[in-house]
Chains A and B, each alone.
Chain A
Amino acid sequence: MRRVGNDVVDLEDPAIAQTHLRERFVARVCCESERARVAGSSDPKLLLWSLFAAKEAAFKALSKSGPLVFAHRRFVVAEDLRSVSYLKQVLWLRVDVHGSCVHAVAWTDDEPPIFGVEKLEPGVDASAAARALLIQRLGGGGLTIAREPQPGSWNGYGPPKLFRDGVEVNLDISLSHDGRFVGFAADSSGAEKR
């Protein structure tokens, strides 16, 4: 199955306002060549968080195939932001900037996934909003999303799975949220293999 991952970063989060200036943080997240690119960038903040989101998206995609150590700096993002590598695996990558939102999508096959990002309405639960956005883009109709507990995973849950009328749909999906934004990516093969 094609694997997809996505990540959003809210650039207006005050907590990350100066992070690009902190060498140790940049060194923890970026490999040597990426550090040089951030240091020489005309917009180091945007580049750092584009790289960060790309690495998060790639990890989400690859970790569905088996456990792997998540060390941001081991995921190497191409200079053109079109691919991201982890050891010998290379994923396709797309990074979009929508105002103050960075949205990265990574996938394991030639055909790009469908994806989207949306501003979160105040007071709305971010996880619920990301699920609602994905379901809406896939056409609704009996679709639900659930995550099963997965001890040992980074947040205690396995990846989100798509169900239609209670039956799991063999279509890989990814959800994300940060600050005022939610995003998703989904395998665009379209064939729902039950």
Chain B
Amino acid sequence: MEQNEVMGKVVDILRPFVKNPSALTGISMDTSILKDLKVNSARLVDIVLEIEDAFGIAVTDEAADQVKTVGDAVSLILKTKA
């Protein structure tokens, strides 16, 4: 699976959890899920579960803790699926 494809799917997963949709404009690998998209920690748990379902992977607590940016999520998925 290509990085761009994973990135697109991650953005789709994030979309319903982002309170201000305009925050998704210009989203990049460096975008902070918590700070820039203002996703709270409860929603971050939901996002991890959605990623597990969408990509058929299991995300460990340690790996989930490392997900700060969109790029972190994409890297985690690519690494886990490799």
Contact = CB atoms under 8 A, between A and B. Distances in A.
Given A69-B61, A71-B61, A25 B45 contact: yes
Contacts of B32: 155-156
A155 B37 CA distance: 11
Nearest to A52: B42
A16 B49 contact: no
Contacts of A15: 42-43
Tell me whether chain B's interface is mostly helix, strand or loop, or mixed: helix
Interface residues of A, number: 22
Interface residues of B, number: 16
A72 interface: yes
Interface in B41-71: 41-43, 45-46, 48-49, 61-62, 64-65, 68
A25 B65 contact: no
Contacts, number: 39
Contacts of B46: 25
B65 A56 contact: no
A156 B64 contact: no
Contact of A157 (B35, B61, B62): B35
B27 interface: no
Nearest to B53: A24
B40 interface: yes
A52 B48 CA distance: 16
Given A16-B42, A24-B49, A155 B34 contact: yes
Given A25-B45, A155-B32, A69 B65 contact: yes
Given A25-B49, A154-B34, 9 more contacts: A19-B42, A25-B45, A56-B41, A69-B65, A71-B61, A154-B68, A156-B34, A156-B68, A178-B40
